[in-house]
Structure 1
Amino acid sequence: MYCAAVSRIVTAMLTSGNRRDRGIVVGEPRAAERFAWSQVHERARRIAGALVGGGVPARATVAILAGEPAVIAPAVQAVWLAGGTVAMLHLPTSRTGLRTWSETTLEALRLVSADVVLIDRPFASFAAKLADVGIPFMMIADLTGKPLADVVPSGDDEPALLQLTSGSTAEPKAVVLTHANIHANVIAMLAATRTDVEREVFLSWLPLFHDMGMMGFLLLPMAFGADLVSVTPRDFLFHPLIWAELISKHRATVTAGPDFSYGLLGRELAAVPDGTYDLSSLRIALNGSDPIDPRSVDSFVTAGRRFGLAERVVLPAYGLAEATVAVSFSSPGTGLRLDAGLALLGPPLPGVEVRVSGEDGRECGDREVGELWIRGPSVSRRYLTVDGPVPTHRDQGWLPTGDLGYLADGEIVIRGRITDVITIGGRRVYPTDVERAAASVPGVRAGNVVALRLDEGARRERFAVAFESTLAGDAAEERRLCDEVAAAVVHAVSASPAAVIAVPPGALPKTSSGKLRRAAAKSRFVARLR
């Protein structure tokens, strides 16, 4: 059953696969069901047996098209048991039409050279598309029968996961993550959060095709045998208070979400009667993926205080897919701390090195803004692109992140993406500053504002602001809102937007993980931005 060439992360899963006292709860709130990790592992063995028996070779790239955690958990484990590499496919959203999603999914499959696609029942209709283009597929529900007897060897240095990037600012590509990358990052996260897997209860609604959901809230608890409660993004977005309900019901200790979700939950909690929930069990509410707005955190903490939420429960973090997921975490129990109004994102995780590089290549000093470079055992060595594999790193293993920021007494602070920063007369204007100012105007939907750089490369660039509002379409209200947004932006950054436009809810393009797509927004509204 065991093999010397089995990677450390798979070995950990084999060990946790014996546990009957820990597992995953799915199906909340309508039909909650618990599966012990031993049951997940048994199902994974059967799927792996069907893969190998069906002719899927070792080292195959196996794409997974599924949304339910109860399906994804054994499927991912099965691919690794069969010696394959996982590629999680993004799911359609309300902001992406099915035709567009279908086209981008086929592009992704070609990008990763998928050998086979595993499909869950809700996406069965996509099988016809795969058949048309000659990509083999299997229905996950049909993968039953004799369990795999012996794990197919796969070493630490072999690819484990092809993480498709969200494409928020550029053409999609896949980050190649090895078994060693994943193991190193998971171990570092456990250490940085002082996690005791015997006591923790993880809770997540994050998508499992996204790095934060997959690494932190599936692979970590599944590999090390911690309890996990997992629902879907749809569950949260349709009923945000499910997050609080499940913290209270399951005594969850660790959860996570992007910044907008804490603001949304805070607003919902503010309208709930005292005593409805008990949030006192929560130890860590990791805030990552998006720029952190102190107003979102304050809304969540203030509203949660009535339900026993710890004052300093929010844990600001920084990460990226190229680092597997996590680069830095704030220390648990310190809460949100600011440096010049910006979130301190903690020191680098154990084993991760960070330097700040100036435009001339020199290393920047304390609080001097430059590009963050990272290196370490959890950092990927290559991308898959439409032009083939390319290295992620430069000399001596350093990976340029594309993020502008600085170190403040050893802690990371992020200013924005290099490609998004607007230069006006030699002065940098950061999109996050513009977006926060615009979002402060009543009538503008928080988390649905985008600052768009115009005239890239000119000495005096321009920028535009697009925002969602339920008042879009009412000419008088639009005019008033646009004027107020422009005034708020000028006050915040001392620069006037060249254009301000209001659009209805759902009009701003987002990735399937919820990030605003700046390039797509600019293309969509270019006629109104000039």
Structure 2
Amino acid sequence: MSRFVDKLITTANDGGRLRGVTTGEPNEAVRTTWAQVHTQARAMAGSLVSRGMARHGAVAVLAAEPAAIGPAVQAVWLAGGSVTMLHQPTPRSDLAVWAEDTLRVLNMIGSKLVLLGAPFDQLAPVLDQHGIGYVLLADLAGGTPLADLVEVDESAPALLQLTSGSTADPKAVRITHGNLLSNITDMAMGARLDPSSDIMVSWLPMFHDMGMVGFYTTPMAMGIELVKVTPVDFLSGPLLWAELISKHHATITAAPNFAYALLGRRLSGVDDPAAYDLSSMRLALNGAEPIDEKAVRAFTDSGARFGLPPECVFPAYGMAEGTLAISFPPPFTGLRLDYIDADALESGRRAVPVSPATPHARSFALLGRPLPGFEARIVDPSGAVRGEREVGEIHIRGAAVTPGYLTVDGPVATQDADGWLATGDLGYIVDGEIVICGRAKDVIILAGRNIYPTDIERAASTVEGVRAGNAVAVRLDAGTRRERFAVVVESKLSGDPDAVKVLRKEIGARVFESVNARPVAIEILPPGTLPKTPSGKLRRAAAGEQLADRLKGA
């Protein structure tokens, strides 16, 4: 068996310790040990093999309940297969379109089997209508435990992680057994994970790499106590997150910017300082997108009343192509910012340090050194390696780097002849630590200046009436001499023409003040309109396409 599967088994049999996973809200919580998860997985693996699942078979999973997903994915690994967590339809989804997109994914990964669990078992008629084969998770539970595990080597795919691009043109990152074990081992070392004392709390979706790898597979492999609810649970009542941290004395959690900002706002409205106890927090990981200092401050300032140590903020760099984590800062050092000269960054691609008090100084989060299994370098457009504080594209190399993608047009390699993967992220290195400036494809080029959309978006978000985390800067006429940019935001004021007029004026002024450039258009949309990935991140390219279409039709 692979070393990754051996790690899962060793943890499950580790002296009968009662570590495991607790799922559901506090009043309805269900606790299961990792040993019990493994026992369930053995039975489900036996059912899969008896139903004809072949070695290296690709299996898709469509379920929301963490208690059901854990045994199912481990069962697939015990049976020698790979797991793909399917993107889930929302109440607003057109199920016919979703089913067609799902068929594209299944054909791409070569899967004829979907493991279907609540609440999506109600979609069985839709899958039948589109000829999608499935098995209900409940029907796998009573199988004869698999006696002989199916052998696979370290290069065998374990997780085919769907990216956050267009669902009509899907792509999956091929994460091998070796990739998983390497990255989990690195993360355990970098975060100083302690199975005897750490407790993780997460509501992150299992179809996202941070939710699946970081906050299910890692605690399952390391034997760390996990408390897991669904994104719907969190979004229905964000203070549930604080309640779970308090009740279980959690030490580790994670989320993107918008969630920390949202929790910070909700905590600020709680009158009783004894309502929650957040003092146990050791690591509050922030990743998946450039770190938003404002969101972090909202979280730490509001959380301080409940004992939250600001040092627990843990800004990291990662991506599915590196399995999950690429760099970690030293634990319990909090948000550390590097202040640089904006002009030197925009015109010379250099990160020249300045005082925080310098007018128009730019700040970026320090994201730590690469984990032990990684190398990182900065490369300019010509392919030359850049030096300290010189901005370019980040390339990574290491044992956790995916060997390739699966696409609708076939496999695509990710590494060059020397093993380097081009991430598409722009950044620089200072004292060995990685700093991210933004995505190369999103940078707006005006008169030789490189303007980063995150600066525009943060400026727009400071205007009262703009929904937090729902502002996007988009390129227009990209790559031409006429390149421009526009700003699209969501606001509850979108239906009030007079309020919209004021909002546009204030956004334009705030953006100009921040980046010394004016947007060619400012669009105010109703809440819930901006296109987002299944994990909740804004899709700049899609927003740009929609805006371009509206401008043409105007």
Question: Shorter-chain TM-score: which interval?
Answer: over 0.9
Deviation for aligned residue 1:482: 1.0
Deviation for aligned residue 1:522: 2.2
Q: Which residue in 1 is equivalent to 2:281?
A: 282
Partner deviation per Cα, 1:280-330 (whole Å, 9 max, x = no partner): 111000000122111111111111111111121100011111000111111
Q: State whether structure 2 residue 13 is matched by structure 1 residue 14.
A: no
Q: State whether structure 2 residue 435 is matched by structure 1 residue 436.
A: no
Distance 2:199 2:445 in 1: 46
Q: Which residue in 2 is equivalent to 1:392?
A: 414
Q: State whether structure 2 residue 68 is matched by structure 1 residue 46.
A: no
Distance 1:292 1:506 in 2: 23
Aligned residue type for 2:33: A
Q: Which residue in 2 is equivalent to 1:332?
A: 331
Deviation for aligned residue 1:137: 1.3
Aligned residue type for 2:6: T
Deviation for aligned residue 1:409: 1.5
Q: Which residue in 2 is equivalent to 1:459?
A: 481
Distance 2:99 2:488 in 1: 27
Deviation for aligned residue 1:93: 3.1
Secondary structure of 1:522's counterpart equals helix
Runs of 5+ consecutive residues of structure 2 not aligned to the other structure: 340-362
Q: How does 1:245-394 map to 2 (within 5 A)?
A: 245-272=243-270, 273-340=272-339, 341-394=363-416
Partner deviation per Cα, 1:474-510 (whole Å, 9 max, x = no partner): 1111111011111111111111111001001100011
Q: State whether structure 2 residue 550 is matched by structure 1 residue 528.
A: yes
Aligned residue type for 1:222: M
Aligned residue type for 2:148: D
Aligned residue type for 1:290: E
Q: Which residue in 2 is equivalent to 1:3?
A: none
- Distance change (3 Å), C-alpha of 1:391 and 1:515: same
Distance 2:244 2:127 in 1: 38
Normalised by the length of structure 2, the TM-score is 0.92
Deviation for aligned residue 1:106: 2.1
Aligned residue type for 2:78: L
Q: Which residue in 1 is equivalent to 2:26?
A: 29
- Distance change (3 Å), C-alpha of 1:22 and 1:199: same
Q: State whether structure 2 residue 65 is matched by structure 1 residue 87.
A: no
Aligned residue type for 2:108: L
Distance 1:14 1:337 in 2: 39
Instruction: Tell me if the contact between 2:64 and 2:118 (Cα under 8 Å) persists in the aligned partners.
Output: no
From 212, 215, 221, give the equivalent of 2:213.
215
Runs of 5+ consecutive residues of structure 1 not aligned to the other structure: 1-5
Distance 1:170 1:55 in 2: 30
Distance 2:79 2:62 in 1: 18
Distance 1:479 1:169 in 2: 35
Instruction: Tell me if the contact between 1:168 and 1:515 (Cα under 8 Å) persists in the aligned partners.
Output: no
Identity of aligned residues (%): 56
Stretch deviating more after TM superposition (499-508 or 118-127): 118-127
Distance 2:119 2:300 in 1: 37
Deviation for aligned residue 1:94: 5.2
Instruction: Tell me if the contact between 1:169 and 1:517 (Cα under 8 Å) persists in the aligned partners.
Output: no
From 508, 533, 542, give the equivalent of 1:486.
508
Distance 1:165 1:337 in 2: 29
Instruction: Tell me if the contact between 2:108 and 2:408 (Cα under 8 Å) persists in the aligned partners.
Output: yes
Stretch deviating more after TM superposition (319-328 or 115-124): 115-124
Q: Which residue in 2 is equivalent to 1:473?
A: 495
Q: Which residue in 2 is equivalent to 1:160?
A: 158
Deviation for aligned residue 1:260: 1.1
Partner deviation per Cα, 1:21-55 (whole Å, 9 max, x = no partner): 11100011341110011111111111111101111
Q: State whether structure 2 residue 157 is matched by structure 1 residue 135.
A: no
From 241, 244, 248, give the equivalent of 2:242.
244
Partner deviation per Cα, 1:181-238 (whole Å, 9 max, x = no partner): 0000000000001111121101100001100011111011111211100001111111
Q: State whether structure 2 residue 135 is matched by structure 1 residue 147.
A: no
Deviation for aligned residue 1:121: 3.4
Distance 1:127 1:383 in 2: 29
Secondary structure of 2:488's counterpart equals strand
Distance 2:92 2:316 in 1: 27
Distance 1:527 1:473 in 2: 21
Secondary structure of 2:468's counterpart equals coil
Distance 1:97 1:414 in 2: 36
Q: Which residue in 2 is equivalent to 1:184?
A: 182
Deviation for aligned residue 1:473: 1.1
Q: State whether structure 2 residue 106 is matched by structure 1 residue 109.
A: yes
Distance 2:216 2:120 in 1: 21
RMSD: 1.5
Secondary structure of 2:7's counterpart equals helix
Aligned residue type for 1:339: D
Secondary structure of 1:515's counterpart equals coil
Distance 2:551 2:239 in 1: 37
Aligned residue type for 1:472: S
Distance 1:102 1:420 in 2: 30
- Distance change (3 Å), C-alpha of 1:396 and 1:218: same
Stretch deviating more after TM superposition (157-166 or 14-23): 14-23
Secondary structure of 1:76's counterpart equals helix
Count residues in correspondence.
525
From 428, 431, 434, give the equivalent of 1:406.
428
Distance 2:27 2:477 in 1: 51
Distance 1:427 1:97 in 2: 42
Instruction: Tell me if the contact between 1:269 and 1:303 (Cα under 8 Å) persists in the aligned partners.
Output: yes
